[in-house]
Structure 1
Amino acid sequence: MTPTFHTILLDVQDRVATVTLNRPDSRNALNSLMCAELVRVMESLATDPLVHVVLIQAAGAAFCAGADLKERKTMNTSEMTARRVQGFAAYGAIERLPQPVIAVVQGPAFGSGCEIAAACDFVLASSEAIFCYPEVGWGTVGATQRLPRIAGARKAKELLFTGRRFGAAEACEIGLVNHMYAPDALQPEALEMAKKIAGASPLTVRLTKRSIDQGLATTREGAMAIELLAIEENLRGTDWQQAIAGFGAPAQGDRA
């Protein structure tokens, strides 16, 4: 039975799960309930063998306008700390998914919106998407870990210190976004890419993701050991011999 959510939508078709941030009237601002529901849905998808790829998108004009500041106005220091931990839990749940996760950013992604996107394996964006890290301007600390690992320390410091807005083209240049598309082409391109990935061996894709993520966190020698273990597990768990045997064979309908 499909779980019920109040701030997100979940749709699974053809091995692709689409998670939609669904607070368009609030520009999909991240509140406590959305944090909890993102954790719930990611935990559910992580153990679903029918889900090979996950898309994270948003309803309305904005991807995510950042944290819900209306919710924070009445919080004390302890409550604010707890709320920040909730955000960390949501980003971490996205990051820990064994399946590939693609962010589809159609509009503004500020603060928490950038963190959600950065927690995905990669990002596809509309040419109309706008990005911003406003944390310093709000008198708070945030986004200090993922952005430097993507864009480098110097670029991250500039974007965090100034809080300036930047477009999808610059986001591509610094590595935050992988590909930029015309607004009407974004969804079809994202779905086509997701379906292509979903057609590959799910174990092989998961092991490739795990090897990259774990390998970056250790030494080169340790990373090679991680990849070797993944290769061995893949050989035991997939029909690799059949795949190799079929390599180069004429497609159905082709003539020799």
Structure 2
Amino acid sequence: MNTYDTLLFKVDDHVATLTLNRPDSRNALNLQMCRDIVAACERAGADANIRVLLIKAAGKVFCAGADLKERQGMTTADMVARRVEGFTAYAAIEDLAIPVIAVVQGAAFGSGGEIAAACDFVLASTEAAFKYPEVGWRTVGATQRLPRIVGRRMAKELLYTGRMVDAAEAQSLGLANHVYAPDQLGAEADAMAAAIAQNNPLTVRLTKHSIDTGLETTRQGAMAVELLAIQENLRHSDWKGAIAKFGNDKDPKANQLETTETKHAA
């Protein structure tokens, strides 16, 4: 396990786990954590052995937001520079070519919500909660990722009011994909990451790229993005070998998939 000043980082069977590790400060995002997140994401992106990244947090809180104590005494220029560091950390997560899953066991407020939103999706505990208090702190934030997840009108409501969103509502809004009991969350997240890591890493990366890039362009442009991804995948993946396994009694997974597809096609 490699450690940073504010994070823990380990790799096991193609799955990396980045753990926010400032539990005494409710994992509040400070300048050093921003820089550690960037460094850890750069490491994950450069290691071909890593196929999935889980972002977890130590303690009962995922991330209580930005470290406001750190901001006391800052000048306007200092604040702008600090916000840029935060944006850089979120972008480092979002720009990873591999799947990134946030595992939110408790409060994800402000910057915590941004970290979760920068991931591909979120698995949450029933004790998780989301809140976007930026307007109440007389600042602007969470205006870009949040509306892309929950829609324009709901994003405005959540930002204008700064109200709390519990785990059940978070799931209904799309902030969380699945909600589990606290004692099951870690195991469920590990199992999902392990399952994703078993897939062809190139195919997974191309699928992520196609979705993320396609959503930012026209329908025709998105089709071109997917076609280019298909061509690259055909050149570099063992798609013929995967198809050849259909009907092979020695490959239960392939047989199950074939049976399912046949049933749907009937």
Structure 2: gaps of 5 or more residues:
256-266
Q: Tell me the residue number matched to 1:11.
A: 10
Q: Tell me the residue number matched to 1:65.
A: 64
Letter in 1 for 2:94: E
Q: Tell me the residue number matched to 2:28.
A: 29
| Pair 1:124–1:253, CA change in 2 (3 A) | closer
Shift of residue 248 of structure 1? Answer: 3.4
Q: Tell me the residue number matched to 1:48.
A: 47
Q: Aligned partners of 2:4, 2:135: CA distance in 1, in Å?
A: 32
Q: Tell me the residue number matched to 2:227.
A: 228
Q: Tell me the residue number matched to 1:238.
A: 237
- Please state whether the residue corresponding to 1:234 is helix, strand or coil: helix
Shift of residue 4 of structure 1? Answer: 4.2
- Please state whether the residue corresponding to 2:101 is helix, strand or coil: strand
Aligned CA RMSD, in angstroms, stands at 1.4
Q: Tell me the residue number matched to 2:193.
A: 194
| 1:129 correspondence with 2:128 | yes
Q: Aligned partners of 2:45, 2:103: CA distance in 1, in Å?
A: 19
| 1:215 correspondence with 2:184 | no
- Could you list the per-position Cα deviations for residues 80-129 of structure 1 after superposition, in whole angstroms to 9, with x for gaps in the alignment? 00000000000000000000000000000000000000000000000010
Shift of residue 79 of structure 1? Answer: 0.2
Shift of residue 132 of structure 1? Answer: 0.5
Show structure 1 runs of 4+ deviating over 6 A.
none
Q: Tell me the residue number matched to 2:262.
A: none
Q: Aligned partners of 2:178, 2:249: CA distance in 1, in Å?
A: 31
- Please state whether the residue corresponding to 1:20 is helix, strand or coil: strand
In 1, are the aligned partners of 2:215 and 2:222 still within 8 Å (CA)? yes
Shift of residue 16 of structure 1? Answer: 0.2
Structure 1: gaps of 5 or more residues:
none
Letter in 1 for 2:34: C
Q: Aligned partners of 1:40, 1:104: CA distance in 2, in Å?
A: 20
In 1, are the aligned partners of 2:26 and 2:64 still within 8 Å (CA)? yes
Letter in 2 for 1:215: G
Q: Aligned partners of 1:104, 1:33: CA distance in 2, in Å?
A: 21
TM-score, structure 2 length as denominator? 0.93
In 1, are the aligned partners of 2:171 and 2:177 still within 8 Å (CA)? yes
| Pair 1:33–1:233, CA change in 2 (3 A) | same
Q: Aligned partners of 1:23, 1:73: CA distance in 2, in Å?
A: 19
In 1, are the aligned partners of 2:203 and 2:233 still within 8 Å (CA)? yes
Following superposition of structure 1 onto structure 2, how do residues 155-170 of structure 1 map, counting pairs within 5 Å?
A: 155-170=154-169
Q: Tell me the residue number matched to 1:118.
A: 117
Q: Aligned partners of 1:81, 1:247: CA distance in 2, in Å?
A: 56
Q: Tell me the residue number matched to 1:109.
A: 108
Shift of residue 251 of structure 1? Answer: 3.6
| Pair 1:158–1:235, CA change in 2 (3 A) | same
| Pair 1:61–1:4, CA change in 2 (3 A) | closer
Shift of residue 249 of structure 1? Answer: 1.9
In 1, are the aligned partners of 2:245 and 2:251 still within 8 Å (CA)? no
| Pair 1:249–1:5, CA change in 2 (3 A) | same
Q: Tell me the residue number matched to 2:172.
A: 173
- Could you list the per-position Cα deviations for residues 29-71 of structure 1 after superposition, in whole angstroms to 9, with x for gaps in the alignment? 0000000010011011111100000000000010000000000
Letter in 2 for 1:247: F
In 1, are the aligned partners of 2:2 and 2:8 still within 8 Å (CA)? no
- Please state whether the residue corresponding to 2:11 is helix, strand or coil: strand
| 1:184 correspondence with 2:186 | no
Shift of residue 250 of structure 1? Answer: 1.9
Q: Aligned partners of 2:247, 2:47: CA distance in 1, in Å?
A: 32
> Size of the alignment, in residue pairs?
254
